[in-house]
Amino acid sequence: CPFYKKIPGTKFVVDAFRYGKIEGITTYFLTHFHSDHYGGLTKNSTLPVYCNKITGNLVRSKLKVAEQYIHVLPMNTQVAVDGVTVVLLDANHYCSPEYTFPTQQEVINFAASTAFEEVALNPRTIVVCGSYSVGKEKVFFELSISFSSDSQKLEQHLARFSSQYDQLVAFKPTGWTFSQQVESVGDVQPDVSGNISIYGIPYSEHSSFMELKRFVQWLQPLKIIPTVNNGSWVGRKAMEKVFGEWLMEA
């Protein structure tokens, strides 16, 4: 197990399930339910998993980990774990300055209003949205509301035009498509090919660089230990430099 997965002065590791049982470790934290973080967890796992309620539910239902190994901790509340005070914070970290985009709600509103306008102009339009097995639900929910608050009416609309669509409008909600500054949703333009329009919208379940900066400056931690994307000395030093600058500005 890499040293940066271990929390100094404790018997904790973070998102380190792929390394199996680790000598000297008693507590295995899972930050969130993305495969690059829970990798190694299976229905046969017997490691004690510490996480929040939502993540615990997903570990139970999707990975079939036995209930006895899932230890749910409350959010925003101090709890003692192996003699250490722990507080779970909904931070959604992503530390790269090239990923700076509008707030999540702005992007969701943009997708909903755009979809509504497209369907209003042409009722024979089908709207699709990219997703993972978990994630992007906020976009789906807002899109459904923009069309109808009645799910039955929405199903009737789909059935009516199931084989008669003239136009397709797609949303690709991911921060990965935005490796540049995006000042507002007004900067988003569709990629159009014939009757197909694809909107790459800067939606992510991770905080952008500036949101993370504001979070760190508000929290003012004594020490920050990054646990991902820091396998090299150069990468670790680059992040430590950024964190230090943020705290100096606070």
Compute the average pLDDT of residues 198-224.
85
146-162 pLDDT, tens digit each: 766 555 665 665 566 56
- Long-range contacts, stretch 237-242, CB < 8 angstroms, 24+ apart: 239/95, 242/95, 242/97
Is 145 part of a structural domain of the chain?
yes
Q: Considering the chain, what percentage of its residues have pLDDT values greater than 70? A: 84
pLDDT of amino acid 81: 96
> Is pLDDT of 100 > 90?
no
pLDDT of amino acid 51: 97
Q: Which residues contact 24 (CB under 8 A, 6 or more apart)?
A: 11
Report which listed range, 66-70, 88-92, 102-106, 123-127, is most confident: 66-70
Confidence of residue 145 (pLDDT cuts 50, 70, 90): confident
Q: Which CATH number do you get for residue 163?
A: 3.40.50.12650
Task: Answer whether 95's CB lies under 8 Å from 224's CB.
Answer: no
- Taking the C-alpha atoms of residue 6 and residue 230, their distance in angstroms, rounded to an integer, is 13
> Is pLDDT of 40 > 80?
yes
Asked if residue 166 and residue 124 are part of one domain, the reply reads yes
Confidence of residue 47 (pLDDT cuts 50, 70, 90): very high
- Taking the C-alpha atoms of residue 209 and residue 175, their distance in angstroms, rounded to an integer, is 11
Q: Among residues 30, 57, 89, which one ends one of the domains?
A: 89
Q: Among residues 44, 64, 89, which one ends one of the domains?
A: 89
Asked if residue 195 and residue 108 are part of one domain, the reply reads yes
Confidence of residue 212 (pLDDT cuts 50, 70, 90): confident
Is 115 part of a structural domain of the chain?
yes
- Taking the C-alpha atoms of residue 54 and residue 42, their distance in angstroms, rounded to an integer, is 17
- pTM listed for this prediction: 0.65
| Residue with tokens 């998993």, as numbered in its chain | 49
Asked if residue 109 and residue 71 are part of one domain, the reply reads no
Q: Among residues 43, 59, 89, which one ends one of the domains?
A: 89
Is 215 part of a structural domain of the chain?
no
Q: Which amino acid is at 67?
A: E
- Taking the C-alpha atoms of residue 74 and residue 250, their distance in angstroms, rounded to an integer, is 28
Report which listed range, 73-87, 156-170, 179-193, is most confident: 73-87
What residues does 86 pair with on adjacent strands? 79
Asked if residue 186 and residue 109 are part of one domain, the reply reads yes
Q: Structural domain of residue 148, as residue ranges?
A: 104-201
Confidence of residue 95 (pLDDT cuts 50, 70, 90): low
Asked if residue 142 and residue 85 are part of one domain, the reply reads no
Tokens of 120: 């209003």
- Taking the C-alpha atoms of residue 102 and residue 29, their distance in angstroms, rounded to an integer, is 30
Is 27 part of a structural domain of the chain?
yes
Q: Which parts of 46-171 fold into alpha helices (H)?
A: 53-63, 104-121, 137-147, 151-160
pLDDT of amino acid 157: 58
Tokens of 52: 């929040």
168-183 pLDDT, tens digit each: 898 888 765 555 555 6
Burial class (CB in 10 A: 0-12, 13-18, 19+), 237: exposed
Tokens of 140: 């789906």
DSSP 195-234: TEEEEEE---SS--HHHHHHHHHHH--S-----SS--SHH
Closest CA to 215 of 95, 37, 50: 95
Compute the average pLDDT of residues 33-54.
93
Asked if residue 192 and residue 112 are part of one domain, the reply reads yes
- Taking the C-alpha atoms of residue 93 and residue 124, their distance in angstroms, rounded to an integer, is 40
pLDDT of amino acid 30: 97
Query: Which range, of 46-55, 56-65, 131-140, averages the lowest pLDDT?
Result: 131-140
How many domains would you assign to the chain? 3
> Is pLDDT of 11 > 80?
yes
pLDDT of amino acid 72: 98
Strands 84-86 and 125-129, by their bridges, are unpaired
Asked if residue 114 and residue 59 are part of one domain, the reply reads no
